[in-house]
Structure 1
Amino acid sequence: VNIKTLFLSVDASLKEAIKTIELGAAQIALVVDENEVLLGTLTDGDIRRGLLKGYDLQSPVGLVMNKGFCSLSEDFTENRAMQLMNEKDFHQMPVIDSQGRVIRIYLMKELLKPEKFPNFVVIMAGGEGHRLRPLTENCPKPMLKISDKPILEIILEQCIEAGFQNYYFSINYLKEKIINHFQDGSKWGVNIQYLEEKQPLGTAGALSILPVKPKNPLLVLNADVLTRTDFNKLMLFHD
């Protein structure tokens, strides 16, 4: 988070505060002076309470901001910050220097993100789906949709949530439809490469055409199987 996008002056209106909170993606606005010294914090709840007291959207944030805010000194580690935020049930916690100036903000949603893995995920997506004909006559089985989303995309997002960034999709049947949809993975913020089977090779066969021998354990998945398995815990156990 760019901390300066959360800043408001004490004279800013509640309407401006709502826009700052909406665009800042941190669910909070920080009221600072001209030297970026923290004067107060503002959340949706503070604004609602102010409106209930009779203030309007043009009222200055200084009238409703939380002056009794909690903050952390800059020597707090992420682990200590997360422990304190968990104890107090805080979703955000600003960090200030010895002069009271805001230098960053800890967000619980960021602190709780799973560990990122360098390990590759190999997803087998080359099958023809004979048993699902006629649904798979013009659509590869991994691209069949559940709630308007391809099965393969559901699996990908589950893996991303578990902390995986690097993928190989093993493809063969109607491969262009898969490549056109996922491309290099940048839409999801990940790296996707393709293992193109000239003929169906089966699970172990597809692993044989990996361009480099992996140094770390692989996660191998079928593109037509949905599971609630926690892939993060699975990899931590085996890695």
Structure 2
Amino acid sequence: MDTKIQKLIVAPDTSLSAALRKMDEIGHKLLIIADETLSFHGLLSIGDIQRAIIADAGLHSPATQFVRKKLRIARSTDNIDNIKKQILRYRLEYMPVLNFDEKVVDVIFWEDIIAPDTVEVNNQIGLPVVIMAGGFGTRLRPLTNILPKPLLPYGETTILENIIERFRKFGCTDFHISVNYKAELIQFYLDSLGEKDYDVNLFSEDKPLGTAGSLGLLQDRLTTPFFVSNCDILIDQDYSAVYDYHKKHHNELTLVASLKQYNIPYGTLESGVNGELLSLKEKPELTFMINCGMYLLEPHLLKEIPEDTFFHITHLIEKIKERDGKVGVFPISEKSWIDIGEWPLYSKVLFQ
């Protein structure tokens, strides 16, 4: 079997945690669950894992508990048109092909049969987006002594344009950018781009107002749920899935969180009274949920932000929790989050 296909296959006893790592490693968010004889057990998507985590499943749970088998496979006798319809219907990265012994014999990839310019995108959400770009970028000095952080290069364009483009894929065309430091350069750069198929509104903080303080300036502009993104992060995720989760669970605010895993290279101990050993774990794996700096908010929250006051979004979250409001967490894999807010992180992605 082709090496490219073999990389997609994981064993039935693979844990959710290991499946996430595998997805990051191979750059696909869909895995084939099959045994050593290539007998098919199911498909596991990033959405399946996210739903399992949201339902409080343990990361060490076997992936087979969460796979869905129906209608997401092809048979070796199927024609390409039927396969195409299935891939389009479920928005699959690829579809495994099985023989009549239920063994994986091939994989048909999205890009092999569907030209990008012929695909009808059906996950357009069209929500407003607020990009917090008013900081001084002190952790990226001396670069930010010359350019504001949003205008630092990333790929062929800038960090700011990369953030905008990721949202535009999901029909978002209404952007509000909070500016302060070197605001005139950001305005000049956006003007230099010429005609755009999206709208940009720059609004200014007269003084630093924290990660949420400036949002209060948008009370009269935002009347629907809206995204907020820091200007030094990139998120590789279906943003419509974040919105679906937000609506389904009636959240007032949803945080996007990356699952970050650490392997401790030592045996860890827990002791009790008189130093008695209570537990011993050999080289444990620890998993934390890290706040990525992207949020989805309901518009009524803007009224809870004090005027002209330094106010972080964590303060807003605390206010919501204090009155028993709903704050949700939407999990993504570790490598679906790119943090470029510090020089070691930025240089790593800049020169890779």
| Residue 147 of structure 1, CA deviation | 2.3
Question: In the alignment, is residue 141 of structure 1 matched against residue 155 of structure 2?
Answer: no
Aligned-partner Cα distance in 2 for 1:160–1:225: 16
Question: In the aligned structure 2, how far is the partner of 1:114 from the partner of 1:205?
Answer: 34
Partner residue of 1:230 out of 220, 227, 238: 238
The alignment status of 1:206 with 2:204, answered yes or no, reads no
Q: Is the 8 A contact 2:163 2:231 kept in 1?
A: yes
Give 1 or 2 for the bigger CA radius of gyration: 1
Residue 171, structure 1, aligned to residue 179, structure 2 = yes
In 2, the alpha carbon distance for the partners of 1:118 and 1:148 equals 25
Contact 2:126 2:170 (8 Å CA) reproduced:
no
Counterpart Cα distance in 2 of 1:183 and 1:236: 34
Cα deviation digits, residues 190-221 of structure 1 (max 9, x gap): 01111111111112101111151522111000
Deviations 1:133-164 (A, max 9, x none): 11000100111112242111111111101221
Residue 118 of structure 1 deviates from its aligned partner by 4.0
Do the aligned partners of residues 88 and 121 (structure 1) sit closer, same or farther apart at CA in structure 2, a change above 3 Å counting? Answer: closer
Change (3 A) 1:184 1:190: farther
Unaligned stretches of 5+ residues in structure 1:
1-82, 91-106
CA distance in 2, matches of 1:188, 1:114: 22
Whose strand proportion is higher, 1 or 2? 2
Distance, in Å, in 2 between the alignment partners of 1:217 and 1:228 is 20
TM-score of the two chains, using structure 2 as the length reference: 0.36
- What secondary structure is seen at the aligned counterpart in 2 of 1:195? strand
> How far does residue 110 in structure 1 lie from its aligned partner after superposition?
5.2
* Number of residue pairs the alignment of both structures matches: 141
Q: What amino acid is aligned across from residue 86 of structure 1 in structure 2?
A: K
Given that 1:217 and 1:238 are in contact with CA atoms closer than 8 Å, whether structure 2 keeps it comes out as no
Amino acid of the residue matched to residue 177 of structure 2? Answer: F
Distance of 2:245 and 2:228 partners within structure 1: 15
What does 1:49-198 correspond to in 2, within 5 Å? 86-87=84-85, 109=117, 111-183=119-191, 187-198=195-206
Alpha carbons of structure 1 residues 236 and 182: separation in structure 2 relative to 1, 3 Å: farther
Q: TM-score by structure 1 length? A: 0.52
What SS does structure 2 have at the residue aligned with 1:202? coil
Q: Which residue of 1 aligns with 2:227?
A: 219
8 Å CA contact 2:127, 2:171 repeated in 1: no
Deviation at 1:228, TM superposition (A): 1.1
1:89–1:144 Cα change, 3 Å: closer
Q: CA deviation at 1:113?
A: 2.0
Over the matched positions of the two proteins, sequence identity in percent amounts to 32
Contact 2:159 2:232 (C-alpha < 8 Å) held by counterparts? yes
Distance 1:230 1:161, change over 3 A: same
Amino acid at match of 1:199: K
User: CA distance change for structure 1 residues 109 and 236 in 2, over 3 Å: closer, same or farther?
Assistant: farther
1:65 maps to which residue?
none
Q: Compute the displacement of 1:166 (Å).
A: 0.6
Please tell me the root mean square deviation across aligned C-alpha atoms, in Å.
Answer: 2.9
* Equivalent pair of 2:150/2:160 in contact (CA under 8 Å): yes
